Amino acid sequence: MAKKLKLEVSYRPEFRATGLFTAQKDYRLCWLLNQHLHIDLQRLPDFEYLCLNQSTPGHFAVYHYELPELMMRYFLVCNKSSEGVLFGEPKNLDYLLLLKQPSDQLQLDNLITKIRKVPMMQAVFDLDEKLGKRGNAFFYDFEMYLGEALK
């Protein structure tokens, strides 16, 4: 009898995730982040994602900014839509700030400190360890979405 081989595919996302808790609307939060971080977040087409326990995909607003000199990208993703939420934990998470290929020059702790000074920001936390296996599936789908959205 032939020996069975097991294929294990490991996926390690190139993202660092930060959770933002605020009552601000997405366009207002982008304006505030642009002012305080000296960036220029621009709207991308909505990200379609099948939420937990939902039969129809949700549409989530996404904003993008690229730093070509550091080869790094910022993405602000709304966690909530009318169809559901991307991540139920941590509770009341409003937005994800994703940094793709963060540079060693960027100190994430300093960035979080700057974001905490934004008016009406209730809390900001590093979420890298808190998203778990659901996070890996989300990041994989999000990278597929970016392939189409950034053409």
Q: Which domains does the chain have, with CATH numbers?
A: 15-149 (3.30.310)
Q: Could you tell me which residue, 63 or 100, shows the higher pLDDT? A: 63
Beta bridge partners of 22: 121
Percentage helix, strand, coil, to 5, in the chain? 25, 30, 40
Contact 120, 94 (CB under 8 A): no
Do 125 and 92 meet the contact criterion of CB atoms below 8 Å apart? no
pTM of the model: 0.85
- Mean pLDDT (the chain, rounded): 86
Decide if pLDDT at 115 tops 80.
Answer: yes
Looking only at the bridges linking them, the beta strands covering 95-100 and 84-85 are unpaired
